[in-house]
Amino acid sequence: MTTRHELCLEEKINLIREKEQGLSHRELSEKFEISLGAVSNILKRKCEYTNDYETNCNKKLKRKLKDDLRQEINDNVYEWFVAQRAKNIPISGPILQEYAREIGKKLDHSNEFKASNGWLDRFRTRYNINFRIISGESRSIDEDTIIDWKSRLSNIIEDYDPHDVFNCDETALFYKLMPDKSLVVDKNDCKGGKKSKERYTVMLCTNWTGSEKLKPVVIGKANRPRCFKNIDIKKLPVLWCSNRNSWMTCKIFTECAGVAAKADDINVTALDAVYWIQNTWDAVTETTIRNTLYSN
């Protein structure tokens, strides 16, 4: 972050004049060692500062009023907020308030700026910021990476039958989590309990045509939960795996892929081969035979 200091009235006028000579906001920020937000704020109040300069005999006076300080804090906080969201970093209200307090301390050592909840509400309204639930993986991968992968994927699978192309994905199952919405009689009857964070990781896999679904993989923390007592884990309708965090790992994925491959193994006998030959020969049509003979 650029080192910031308070400009006196004369310095603000010099900044305004240099802007009129063609310097960019960033060049002014670097030259006067203030933030881009502070540069914008000074230029917005150009007429006010020019009038003060012409009527004030003390050109070295630093006129940092409370409103000026709050505006500079807001500009810096918003600039930082936009930069963090561009990196897909979730920013909550308390995080925003804490950063605002840090900026306030750097700009005004009196520590009078508290970044209260009221300030947060006004800040959100002013910059049209809404707090929403961020879910899924839609913002976790760069768009260019997605486009590049799609183009390469088409080349990879073009020679495969759709039946042999599989896709898998994982999700979290918060199996103790209660609904966050409910029918109520009184609009004030909206109190809820503490949300459970108990979860399983679930991986689902199927082929392109949807004709073959592999056993779901469920990953928990315990190798054998108490409720599995007297139960043969191998006979569960899912593949049960475990690790300390209930997360999918390279080792678990490799083991599950191996189980799926073994499930596809077929014990072929000579009799099976005989019947396959017969079925294949019966499936050859007269047209196929004629075309083959004519081509030779």
SS3 label, residue 143: helix
Count of CB atoms situated within 10 Å of the CB of 70? 18
Q: State pLDDT tens for residues 92-149.
A: 888 889 999 888 888 776 667 788 888 888 888 888 887 665 555 555 566 777 788 8
Distance from the Cα of residue 208 to its chain's centroid: 27
Contacts of residue 185, defined as CB under 8 A and 6 or more positions apart, other chains included, come to none
Facing residues of 173 across strands? Answer: 200
152 confidence band (pLDDT: 50, 70, 90) = confident
* Residue type at 271 in one-letter notation: L
Q: Which of 22-26, 63-67, 267-271 has the highest mean pLDDT?
A: 22-26
Residue pair 60/9 in contact by the 8 Å Cβ criterion? yes
User: For residue 27, is pLDDT > 50?
Assistant: yes
pLDDT of residue 1: 45
pLDDT at 183: 40
| Residue 126 DSSP label | H
CB-CB contact of 260 with 214 (8 Å): yes
Residue 22 has pLDDT above 60, yes or no: yes
Judge contact between 216 and 169, C-beta under 8 A.
no
Residue 2: per-residue pLDDT: 46
Angle between helices 36-44 and 25-32 (to 10 degrees): 110
pLDDT digits (tens, 9 = 90+) for 90-108: 788 888 899 998 888 887 7
pTM: 0.43
Q: Which residues of 142-178 are buried (b: 16+ CB within 10 A; e: fewer)?
A: eeeeeeeeeeeeeeeeeeeeeeeeeeeeeeeeeeeee
Helix (H, G, I), strand (E, B) or coil at 131: coil
Longest dimension (CA), the chain: 109
Helix, strand, or coil (residue 133): coil
Contact between residue 105 and residue 111 where contact means Cβ atoms under 8 Å apart: yes
